[in-house]
Each structure stands twice: as structure tokens, then as C-alpha cells.
Structure 1
Amino acid sequence: MTTDRYGSDVLAGDWKAPPRGRSREVPAERDLVVEDVETGWCGAVVRVEKAGGMHVVHLEDRRGRLKAFPLGPGFLLDGAPVILTPPTPGNADRLKAARQAATRTASGSVAVSDSRARVARGSRIFVEGRHDAELVEKVWGADLRIEGVVVELLEGVDDLRSVIRDFKPTKDRRMGVLVDHLVRGTKEQRIVDEARAIPEARAHVLVVGHPYIDVWESVRPERLGWTTWPTIPRGTSWKHGILAELGWPHRSQTDVAHGWKRILGTVRTYADLQPELLGRVEELIDFVTAP
């Protein structure tokens, strides 16, 4: 038996191939998530159009910002190089494969596969109640686990100053707070103003809020078959009144709990929520995860 003293031929095979592999063509279909190699911009395809004699693809990142890039090479799909081509009708199989390769979380950010949750940070996000926490978990849960951010319940904001003092925020232990019905002239606004004024809250605490009576109202009304959320008369429990408008059981707290589960079940992604809530939650996540 003969042996090869010099080993295998180093020039055998595709030795000129780049480390990431060779680029393949992929149609720039709507919702396809790609990354621009040069700038690192990552976003979903919104549209492709002709501008100045060339094709341009518009990418939307997780915060809704748009940026245009020349269509062609220079993009990554799931870490592999691709050449974006104009969308082609009838290319259903390739489109399906591309969408399966590039998934997004419910918050609109790029899903990170095979990743472990990070050890919890000292920083926290506080929300008023269980329903708020469940909604945040459904839409932003994957992002929060990657970032190591824990969401805690306040059970109301009446004693927000004491909660801040007990938490003892520092630059490495920031505190973000989401408040319901934070509207000028309300009790909630007065409580928040007083809490912001204490020394412990000035540097490392961010309190933001949405204008809705309850976090239920941050769900787009179209998800429940309405154009707007109904107005509930004064003197009537708001949640019970909403369930009555929906024609659902509404007599007991058990009915309220079941009703919320049904409403929460209509939320699939961030697109099913009102922008006033989306912006505030993203702001809190950025604050507690900032270096």
C-alpha cells in the first residue's frame, strides 16, 4: 500500500471560496430580514423601487426606521452572503425557504437561534400589574431574555417613591417604570412627578407611560372587530364594561381574567399594539440595557 508523503492537495476543491461561502441570489420579497454588510443595518424588506435608473431596497429596522440600499450583493441572510434581486412573481418555493431561514421575534427584532438566556442584570423594568407583564412578555419576552432583563410587578403606582427608594438604583442597577394612564392632570401624573423629584430617581430611573386607561386599550381595536375602543360610562368598571361591549361574560373577576386571555390571544406581534405603548417599552429596554 502506498502513502501520500505530502498529504492532500491544498488546491483541491473550491479553495478560492470566501469564509462565509459564495453568495446566492434571493428575491427581495416583503418581510425578508437581511443585514447590510457594510453598515451592519439589519431590517425587513418593505419595498423595492427604481430610483435614478437603479433598483433600491428599503429596509425597516425593529424601531420602525427606514433606510435604502442599492439592490444586489452586499447582504447577509442568516449570516450567509446573498445577492438581492427584484421580487419575482411565482417564486413561492424560494420565498418560503428564505422566510423560514430569516425569522423575527414578536417585537420585530431578528430572532437569535440556539441562544441561551443571559444571566439577569441588576437593572429591572417595573409594570403596574399582571396584565401589563403578560403583554410585555408576549411581545418582548425573547428580547428581554437575550438581554437578561427581568420584569417585576408594582401592583399599582400609589407608593412609587418607596419602591424607588427600596430598589436603590445605581448606574449599574437602573430602574425603568411603565405607568398606565399617564396623562397631564391625572392622579398618575402627580404621583410620577413626585417620584421623579426624589434624589434617588434623578440619575438612574426612567418613568414613562402610555395614555390608555388600562393596558388592554393598547391592543389595536381592529383585533377585536372595532375601529375604536368604546367609551365606558363613569361609575361602571372599565374592564367589566369592555367585556360587556364584546358580549363576553363580565360579572366576576374570573370573567375578567378569561376575557383578558382572549384579548391577549389576539396579539400576534408588535404590529397589533398601539404605537404609544410600543415606543415607551422600547425606550425602557434601551434605558436598562445601555452600557
Structure 2
Amino acid sequence: MADRYGNDVLAGDWRKPKNGRTVDVEIAKGMVVEEPSSGFVGAVVRWEHGVVHLEDRHGRVRSYPMGPGFWIDGKPVSLQPPKKAAPAKKTRTASGSVAVDNVRARVARASRIYVEGRHDAELVERVWGDDLRIEGVVVEYLEGVDDLPAIVNRFQPGPGRKLGVLVDHLVEGSKESRIAAQVTGAHVLVVGHPFIDIWEAVKPKSVGINAWPKIPHGEDWKKGVLRTFGWPASDQADVAAAWKHILSKVNSFADLDPALLGRVEELIDFVTND
């Protein structure tokens, strides 16, 4: 007997909207969408803070909250922000060496590098830290060159136990150069950089300045620099804040003067060539 009422009205997906279910779509510049309640049709020109901006063919721009409530080709969509791309794989360390994945840092060598000055040591760590950890080289802070003979005596350098030292502004004929000559030997290498202060080793353009200023002899160099630039220079906290800013501008070896690069690379080669 025929069903006088026809097919079961509840059969199938009776709850499905006439135009289909809303699907998520990643927004893209130039994508043409319609806001059906107003009938406005336009291309996506930008999006920000959860709002999408559409421009129609007459150049009119309207803004709407991102999410559901749009159509593309007559089908309901929910506009979603693009997924963030995965960060690019690091191929170089900050020093320019080839980055090595899935390699555990080597057990610390007996050899060491000492760096005079806290800021100097922080700069070495920022640029060469990855390389030094892979090589198993520990960098230690040297408060002053006067401490060097005692450090060398305690360290007892020898084959497979080398000591490399980077000192500030090593000038020939100075007390510091005489101390350096006193401790230098087959297993101890002392090198100095030519800068009045390690800040000068950072290229001016990386910091956003034209050049490092010339500070009169006898004036505190760091505070003189701060005053020249109009930065706070009242106390050591101001100096520390300025250095933090400068250091943040160093992203790789390209931000440093070659005169420092050569000295540090020389020390690394010295202590790693057993």
C-alpha cells in the first residue's frame, strides 16, 4: 500500500541548513566574501584585533567582527585568522657556524676561556654561547688582569688543559701587557681587543647610532656615552639598563666589529685544538 503521506520528513539530515553548514576558512588578503545581512560584498584588505576589513568594487570599506556570518560563493563560512607558520629552522648559530641539531653539549673540557669584564663575558655568551657549549668550553668571568697570575697558578695549564684569556684594551707597554706577557706560554694565550670598552665592539648601526662618541680622557667612558646620547646616566643602574638595550641589538656576529670577532675565534681555536 502506498504511503499517502510520502517520505518520512525526519529521514536524512533534516537539520542541515539550506545553504550547508558553516565551515572554518582561513582568511587571506584578496579573498572575496559576502556579509549576507547587509548584502555587502568585498575583498579582504586587512584584518586586525578580531576585525576584518572588506573593500567593495566602488572602493568602500566596511569592517566586521571575524568569525561566522559570512558567505563565500553562497556557502556559509566562519573567517578565521591564518595559522602561524612554524618558525624557520635555525641553520646558523649567532657566530655564523653551521647549527647542529640533536647534538648534546660536550662534557666540559679541562681547557677554559676567561673574559675580563662582565659585559664582555655576556657579549661572548650571546654570540658564541651555542658553539662553546657544543665544544664543551666553559667561559669564566675575569674581574681584572691583576688577578691573572694567581688564576694561572691555580689552573696549572698543560697539554689538554689550556687557558685562553680575553682582556680589555690591551695596550703595548702598559701594566696589563706586562702581566699578559708574564703568563703567556705554550698552554696560555692572552689576547686583547682594541676598544676602550666592549660597547664599542657593537657596530653603531646595529644600535641605531652614527658612531660611538669620543669621551674626554679621565671621564667615565660609559656614563660619558650615556650623557652624549641623552640617556639616563645617574648611577650604575642606568649603565646596566643601557647595556641591556645595547646587548639586545646584537643578534649575530654581523653586529660586531671584526676586530673582536678575530680575537674570540683565535681563543676558541686555541683551547679546542688539543
Are positions 1:268 and 2:256 aligned together? no
Look up the SS of the partner of 2:146 in the other structure: coil
- Name the residue aligned to 1:245: 228
What does 1:22-61 correspond to in 2, within 5 Å? Answer: none
- Name the residue aligned to 1:171: 159
**Among candidates 194, 203, 212, match of residue 195 of structure 2:** 212
Stretches of structure 2 lacking an aligned partner (at least 5 in a row): 1-84
CA distance in 1, matches of 2:145, 2:117: 10
Whether the 8 Å CA contact 2:203–2:256 is kept in 1: the answer is yes
What does 1:166-205 correspond to in 2, within 5 Å? Answer: 166-196=154-184, 202-205=185-188
Paired letter, 1:277 = L
Q: Give the drift of 1:185.
A: 3.1
Paired letter, 2:147 = D
- Name the residue aligned to 2:61: none
Q: Give the drift of 1:244.
A: 1.4
Paired letter, 2:250 = V
TM-score (norm 2): 0.66
Residue identity over aligned pairs, in percent, reads 64
Whether the 8 Å CA contact 2:117–2:168 is kept in 1: the answer is no
What does 1:21-170 correspond to in 2, within 5 Å? Answer: 100-101=88-89, 103-170=91-158
Q: Give the drift of 1:165.
A: 0.9
1:230-266 Cα shifts (integer Å, max 9, x gaps): 1111221111111112221111111111111111011
CA distance in 1, matches of 2:243, 2:112: 25
CA distance in 2, matches of 1:119, 1:195: 27
* 1:172–1:253 distance in 2 versus 1, CA, 3 Å: same
CA distance in 2, matches of 1:232, 1:186: 21
Whether the 8 Å CA contact 1:178–1:209 is kept in 2: the answer is yes
CA distance in 2, matches of 1:213, 1:186: 14
Are positions 1:222 and 2:210 aligned together? no
CA distance in 2, matches of 1:242, 1:142: 31
Whether the 8 Å CA contact 2:157–2:187 is kept in 1: the answer is yes
Paired letter, 1:135 = L
Which structure has the bigger radius of gyration?
Answer: 2
Q: Give the drift of 1:101.
A: 5.0
Q: How many pairs align?
A: 190
**Among candidates 265, 268, 271, match of residue 285 of structure 1:** 268
TM-score (norm 1): 0.62
Paired letter, 1:223 = S
Q: Give the drift of 1:119.
A: 0.9
* 1:238–1:290 distance in 2 versus 1, CA, 3 Å: same
Whether the 8 Å CA contact 1:181–1:188 is kept in 2: the answer is no
1:188-242 Cα shifts (integer Å, max 9, x gaps): 222212333xxxxx22001111111111111112223333321111221111111
CA distance in 2, matches of 1:186, 1:217: 21
